[in-house]
Amino acid sequence: MITHNCTDTAWFHKALAACSAICFIRRRIKFWKANGEVSVTANGQAVFSNDISRFYERFSELGFILVPCR
């Protein structure tokens, strides 16, 4: 799951409790709209995963990866 890194919200903590790893992306991700325009968000992004090994391989170059303690 990719989302804003709104660490102060209840939904973020709920998602964090359900994942095996999270990556805080170093820079803003660009998205393309249906009409081809590029859109950059005002907030940074976080990516959540439940597959640590593959996740680390794919995202370690994009940001800082954390494994939540339970």
Predicted local confidence at residue 19, as pLDDT: 94
Report residue 22 as tokens: 């999270």
How far apart CA 3 and CA 22 sit, in angstroms, is 11
Predicted local confidence at residue 8, as pLDDT: 94
How far apart CA 19 and CA 29 sit, in angstroms, is 21
Predicted local confidence at residue 13, as pLDDT: 93
Domain boundaries, the chain: 2-66
* Length of the chain, in residues: 70
Is pTM beyond 0.75? Reply is: yes
Predicted local confidence at residue 10, as pLDDT: 96
pLDDT per residue, tens digit, the chain (70 aa), is 999 999 999 999 999 999 999 999 998 888 888 999 998 888 889 999 998 888 988 999 999 999 988 6
Report residue 60 as tokens: 């370690």
